[in-house]
Amino acid sequence: SAVISQKPSRDICQRGTSLTIQCQVDSQVTMMFWYRQQPGQSLTLIATANQGSEATYESGFVIDKFPISRPNLTFSTLTVSNMSPEDSSIYLCSVVETSFNEQFFGPGTRLTVL
């Protein structure tokens, strides 16, 4: 199974600043996703990170607010831009390993915006 690490594990940020979250996988994976889990809520898909092209965003999420990079098959970043307290959440990287037909989740990044 894929092993996923995220950096940072948590951060406390000021309103108006930006934070970039890194996701590293120990093997090449076909699909990488970014999710948000707000306090007391379920997981909401933000976007699919596409290798070598622009990410595919879900309804309600835009590139200017959540720019995503995926330079190769094992790494992706999500930036939360111009943060507000409403962005306080856990951000999760997730991957699909086609051979296992299963989706794996990273440990998450707990973001608090003051």
Mask 31-50, x = binds another protein (CB under 8 A)? x-x-------xxxxx--x--
Does 103 contact another protein by CB under 8 A? Answer: yes
Query: 33 by DSSP, 3-state: which?
Result: strand
- Which of 63, 107, 112, 114 binds another protein (CB under 8 A)? It is 107
Does 22 contact another protein by CB under 8 A? Answer: no
CA dihedral in degrees (74, 55, 12, 106; nearest 10)?
A: -40
75 backbone dihedrals φ, ψ, rounded to 5°: -145, 140
In the complex, which residues of this chain contact another protein (CB under 8 A)?
A: 30-31, 33, 41-45, 48, 92, 96, 101-103, 105-108
